[in-house]
Structure 1
Amino acid sequence: MLQSIRDNITGWIAWVVVILLSIPFALFGINSYFEGRFSDAVAQVEGEEIGNRDFQNRYQNQYQQVQQMFGEQFDPDMIDESQLRRQVLDQMIQEELLIHRAEDQRLRVSEQEVVQQIRSVEAFHEGGQFSMERYRALLRAQNMSPSELERNIERDLLGQRIQNALVNSSFVTGHEVERMAALENQRREFEELRVSLETFRDQVAVSEEEVADYYQANQDRFMTPEAVDLDYVKLSLEDVRDRMEISEDEVRAAWEQSQEEYMEDERRLSRHILLSVGEDEEAVREEIEALRERIRDGESFEELASEYSEDSVSADDGGSLGWVYQDDMVESVDEAIFELETGEVSEPIRSEFGYHLVRVDEIDTPEPLPYEEVRDEIRADLQEQEAERYYFELREEMGEAAYANPDELNVLADLLDLEIRTVEGVTRDEGQGIAENPQVRQEAFSDMVLGDRMNSDPIELDEDTLVVIRVGVHHEPEQRPLEDVADEVRSLLRDEKARNEVRSLAESLKEELDADADLQTLLDRDDTPTDALRYSERQWVSRNHEGLDSQLGQRLFRMALPDNGPRHEMIERGDGDWSLIALHSVDTDSVELAEDERRSRADDARSQLSNLEFMTYVQELRRVSDVEVMFDADDEEELFEQ
């Protein structure tokens, strides 16, 4: 199989196709459509490099997955790009470590496994079956060699060998399942006293002198962001499609050569008799057989349908179903109608509605649709085919021209008949238009594009759109004047003072609690601002109690059991408030589990345990392995921390 693939195919395949493999460790060794002019490694694992281009492609893929998940509701602020980059790099390092571990243990992947994986890719299917022609076309279009694809798949499967071995060896005992069920269903009784940040924000004062002093001491916090204005050319399949002109002669020739693709649907004038199935199916089958014999002996199908058919709608018209098109009826009846000859009566047919007898009275043979009815459809098909062919030609020309003319866009624009456009005010973290794409921003501030003022390599915004960018204007960070940031500084100082006040009060209250005070008594303090404290009475809650704040709930159920009185704890809340909680009682009764629930909980617990064991294994593997992470001086240092 693999040799057959190699004999028939040449080319690359984009990561968009590879991800459809649905392998947890997919996308190793992905190359961009065009080779870059540099191949800086972002990491090295046991001597094996993880290239910058592979890393950027993986990052872009992850980013786009989040975009697709949220659709129109997507907001770039949802993504912490530094954290996402760190996660992507960690994942790529993990994959390399697992592959090396599998190779060290001399694990192997058979050729047949690789073949099966290739055959399972839906992108290579037509009509639900693997298509060598489609496979060949996709590979040729993307210019990836079959051996490269096979090697990527083999490495993916090798990585899975180690993970599967760990996951499949995990187990939990019945006692552990019962204990976890008891913990999950545990209830705790507590009360809360909350100290409000907002109350203090409204009361603290900030002087102009404090604003000026803070500004002078923290001027680096009040700079305009570094930004660039980007010139760019964009090549998209949509734009190419609009350029395609298909003549009337070409449309008519295509119609004449493939009229069978533009046929009217066949239809058949049909009748049926339906007997529904009750408790005695055999008796119903015998009855429908008897009706068929009576029809064969010359009795009228229409009269028998009117008398016996339980399809009340058609029975009144002699069982008429009217003109039936393919797939109009349930599958078994539909197949029979389109296999019968005119006047022929079917054998009894079983469907979800009962038993049928079917007769075809007339067959309307399909004819080619008139040219005028399909002309626009044919033109659109030809336009799409020609646009795709021409688009891939232009992609190659774009890559070659960008490489041959690295210091200007005019040649590239003239060669491809593209307009040079501009997007202004692009920072490392945000931008408009094409600069909403994180890879565009990454390239815009790279050494090559910003430092050397060269054109970028073609950047793939999606599978049908490429851009080449060039820095037009570089805006260095500038100091923002005090008058522009005074309100911002004042708000920062007010928050800082208020947080200090809240924390100080919470600590003071905690000291009183530890000295045998109770939460209700603390409400009567004379030195506490009005409305600064909010008390919640004692209540029993479970882990998933409706209305229980998740942050409070997590801390509450991690507290040690109370001993000789309530146990107290102080918690900083996400909104800046502080809470003092008193844990009074814990319900630790055991839980009776039905057998099916016990099995379900055991499966869940085994899954969680196996994931934990796998993560621990990977962490230890990384600790003892030779892993080096590299980065450019302009990159975020925390991005590549090990």
Structure 2
Amino acid sequence: MFDFVRKHSKVIAGPLFLLIILAFILVGVDGYKNMAAKGATVATIGNTKITQEEWDFAHKNEVDRLRTSVPNLDPKLLESDEARYTTLERLVREKVMAEAVQSAHMTTSNARLARELQQNPTIASLRKPDGTLDMERYRQLAASQGLTPEGFEARVRRDLSLMQVESAVTSTAFSPKALSDLALNAFFERREVQVLRFSPADYAAKINPSDADIEAYFQANTALFQSTETANVEYVVLDLDAVKKTVTVSEADLKSYFEQNANRLSAKEERRASHILINAPKDMPAADRAKAKERAQALLSQVRKAPESFAELAKKNSQDAGSAPRGGDLDFFGRGAMVKPFEEAAFAMKKGDISEVVESDFGFHIIKLVDIKGAKQPSFEEARASLEPELRTQLAQRKYAEIAESFTNGVYEQSDSLKPVADRLKLEVKTAANVQRQPLPGATGPLANAKLLEAIFNADSLEKKRNTEALELGANQLVSARVVSYSPARSLALNEVKAQVRERLVASRALEQAKKEGADKLAALQTNPGAVTFPAALTISRDAAQGLPGAVIDAALKANAAKLPAFVGTDVAGQGYAVVRVNKVLPRNAVEEAKGKQEQAQFAQWVAAAESSAYYESLKQRFKVQIKVPAPGAAKTATN
């Protein structure tokens, strides 16, 4: 079928084109858009809907982001019902807050956006040594988030507007010292306790299960004793690195490339300037802006009288927090790096000149031109070191585009082996043993990709040992794999795992015995407080656990201290049981002033977060939010 389509593509193309035209006439472009937008509604915010497709797309982006930032993160966690539901809740929150911004008519001015971008440390890291912004890296930053530079700036503007709504609530959160002291002193209260531990290890030696016990436990828990399905695979990767190895860069090609890029390679004229800035955003009231200009004029007069004092005046008076400590120094910059009025003034000046007051969207500038770096054309030999890898990459990209189709067709047409396509394209056939359906801990490369693993463990791949289709796992990366041998999951025989079964059974019974004896001791203490001898007393609190498990600390601090001594028991997950005797309730230790202020600030943040959460809940009611998908926990409860 594939060969038929390929050989008769011109014959098929005509009728297919007519069908497409007819479909557009009958349905229309808008009809296609509507069809694409349709899908089950998973949540509503008033009249706004979130569809299943939108949810899936948002979760895919979130998974891709997390896999990039945390490569070793377990894929199961990313694709769990809980993770997907968290993405949906985030989507709903974004739309609710956007509705709040719109209803409150809150906007972010261009000046505010510009200040935020200037102060952003990530963007600051993209500046070149001369202080100018590396626009290519800036585009890459935006592209890594699936955005254009314009889209990135629009998102920052939206986030700033959202912050206005949220800060209106959190900034008014009120937490007086008396309230925080009351809460924190109760939270960090100390108690003198004695703890009696009942550990499974103390009972294990006394347990000696029979063969019949072991077999009965095995039969009841066969799911615990299974081998994992695995596959031994071979795979071939077509990517730029592989193609680069086959690319030869000739001297003639390199010289031609140098000539074609002469203008780009030449160093552009750059200027080094210092400035004194008096802030006056465009949206500042006219009267205030006039005062700012007067202040700038007064500073200019001082500079004119003593030009050598420029740096000192900049340190004391400039309102540009970035350059003021350096005496106003902005380092070297080229055209396009500064706002237009500033650039026009700086590039019209001579070395050593001091400008008049220059007005921009940020305020009023006094500029001193410190130095001029003229344009420079590098020689071929000077540019060679950077040009050769650049040209090799370009040639590899072109060649990749040419051979990607050959790779795709090759793994399909000769589906019983990867060697023919590897030999033809000079690629390496790699092998891997004991591959599982989920990436192994620490796995990297193609076999850490869930998409490829899913194709490997597809029924067709496992049963017929055919090549997987050519999968695009990243930019300029195609991979195909083939199962060489497969070992399915199976229930192990008792004789293979008898030692493990006995170990589990002994541990289970020892744990039961520890819990039973602990509960019995607690019951005896309720009627006779002196019935049990406890070890030495400890003073514990939430910030001084004395090596005790969290469950023991919680039980001790929650015990009713109205009548002392008080006795409580708690199950310590997997570690047996503990009986706690509470002897005294002690006040919290005195706190240093600095630490107390830090805790009070933390408590204020908790209060602000609680108020923000309450505000969001009120917005959900106001905008009639409905999440139509049950939360994972609720869904499980409903089915139990």
* TM-score relative to the length of structure 2: 0.59
Structure 1 unaligned regions, length at least 5: 1-37, 68-75, 264-330, 336-366, 524-534, 632-636
CA distance in 1, matches of 2:396, 2:77: 34
Structure 1 position 65 matched with structure 2 position 69: yes
CA distance in 2, matches of 1:397, 1:592: 70
Q: 1:459 aligns with which of 464, 473, 476?
A: 473
Structure 1 position 385 matched with structure 2 position 390: yes
Q: 1:511 aligns with which of 519, 523, 544?
A: 523
Q: 2:427 aligns with which of 418, 422, 432?
A: 418
CA distance in 2, matches of 1:85, 1:42: 20
SS in 1 for 2:568: strand
Match of 1:98 in 2: 93
Structure 1 position 428 matched with structure 2 position 429: no
Contact 2:55–2:87 (8 Å) recurs in 1: no
Structure 1 position 573 matched with structure 2 position 578: no
Compute the displacement of 1:552 (Å): 5.0
Compute the displacement of 1:181 (Å): 3.8
CA distance in 2, matches of 1:42, 1:235: 38
Compute the displacement of 1:469 (Å): 4.9
Compute the displacement of 1:115 (Å): 6.7
SS in 1 for 2:558: coil
Compute the displacement of 1:497 (Å): 0.8
Match of 1:626 in 2: 627
Residue deviations 1:171-215, cap 9 Å, x none?
A: 312211221342355321111111121121222112221222233
> Matches of residues 10-89 of structure 1 in structure 2 within 5 Å?
44-46=42-44, 47-48=50-51, 49-50=53-54, 52=56, 54-67=58-71, 79=74, 81-82=76-77, 85-86=80-81, 88-89=83-84
CA distance in 1, matches of 2:573, 2:497: 26
Q: 2:496 aligns with which of 466, 475, 484?
A: 484
Instruction: Name the CA shift for 1:464/1:219 in 2 (closer, same or farther; >3 Å).
Output: same
Structure 1 position 223 matched with structure 2 position 226: yes
SS in 2 for 1:628: coil
> Matches of residues 244-259 of structure 1 in structure 2 within 5 Å?
244-248=247-251
Match of 1:585 in 2: 584
Q: Which amino acid aligns with 1:517?
A: P
Structure 1 position 187 matched with structure 2 position 190: yes
Compute the displacement of 1:93 (Å): 1.6
SS in 2 for 1:129: coil
Residue deviations 1:75-123, cap 9 Å, x none?
A: x6x8583377456424422321122213433256557366777775539
SS in 2 for 1:555: helix
Compute the displacement of 1:496 (Å): 1.1
CA distance in 1, matches of 2:193, 2:571: 17
Instruction: Name the CA shift for 1:145/1:559 in 2 (closer, same or farther; >3 Å).
Output: closer
Q: Which amino acid aligns with 1:218?
A: N
Q: Which amino acid aligns with 2:492?
A: R
CA distance in 1, matches of 2:177, 2:209: 61
Contact 1:124–1:132 (8 Å) recurs in 2: no
CA distance in 1, matches of 2:264, 2:597: 57
Q: Which amino acid aligns with 1:609?
A: V
Contact 1:44–1:627 (8 Å) recurs in 2: yes
Contact 1:570–1:578 (8 Å) recurs in 2: yes
Instruction: Name the CA shift for 1:556/1:387 in 2 (closer, same or farther; >3 Å).
Output: farther
Compute the displacement of 1:605 (Å): 0.9
CA distance in 2, matches of 1:488, 1:248: 67
Report sequence identity in percent. 16
Count of residue pairs brought into register by the alignment: 474
Contact 2:572–2:578 (8 Å) recurs in 1: yes
Instruction: Name the CA shift for 1:575/1:227 in 2 (closer, same or farther; >3 Å).
Output: same
Contact 2:254–2:388 (8 Å) recurs in 1: no
SS in 2 for 1:549: coil
Instruction: Name the CA shift for 1:224/1:589 in 2 (closer, same or farther; >3 Å).
Output: closer
CA distance in 1, matches of 2:403, 2:56: 21
Match of 1:209 in 2: 212
Instruction: Name the CA shift for 1:122/1:82 in 2 (closer, same or farther; >3 Å).
Output: same
CA distance in 2, matches of 1:42, 1:428: 30
Instruction: Name the CA shift for 1:616/1:516 in 2 (closer, same or farther; >3 Å).
Output: farther
Instruction: Name the CA shift for 1:261/1:386 in 2 (closer, same or farther; >3 Å).
Output: closer
Instruction: Name the CA shift for 1:160/1:167 in 2 (closer, same or farther; >3 Å).
Output: same
CA distance in 1, matches of 2:553, 2:399: 57
CA distance in 2, matches of 1:450, 1:153: 48
Q: Which amino acid aligns with 1:489?
A: V
Q: Which amino acid aligns with 1:603?
A: A
| The 10-residue stretch of structure 1 (563-572 or 226-235) with the greater mean CA deviation from structure 2 | 226-235
CA distance in 1, matches of 2:495, 2:107: 67
Contact 1:99–1:158 (8 Å) recurs in 2: no
Instruction: Name the CA shift for 1:99/1:161 in 2 (closer, same or farther; >3 Å).
Output: farther
Match of 1:125 in 2: 126
Q: Which amino acid aligns with 1:382?
A: L
SS in 2 for 1:562: coil
Compute the displacement of 1:368 (Å): 12
CA distance in 2, matches of 1:559, 1:141: 49
Contact 2:123–2:138 (8 Å) recurs in 1: no
CA distance in 2, matches of 1:226, 1:630: 32
CA distance in 1, matches of 2:125, 2:406: 32
Q: Which amino acid aligns with 2:527?
A: A
Instruction: Name the CA shift for 1:457/1:447 in 2 (closer, same or farther; >3 Å).
Output: farther
CA distance in 2, matches of 1:174, 1:552: 30
Compute the displacement of 1:246 (Å): 3.4
Compute the displacement of 1:502 (Å): 0.7
CA distance in 2, matches of 1:206, 1:485: 15
CA distance in 1, matches of 2:154, 2:117: 12
Structure 2 unaligned regions, length at least 5: 1-35, 45-49, 268-325, 331-375
Structure 1 position 522 matched with structure 2 position 532: yes
| The 10-residue stretch of structure 1 (441-450 or 492-501) with the greater mean CA deviation from structure 2 | 441-450
> Matches of residues 159-170 of structure 1 in structure 2 within 5 Å?
160=163, 163-170=166-173
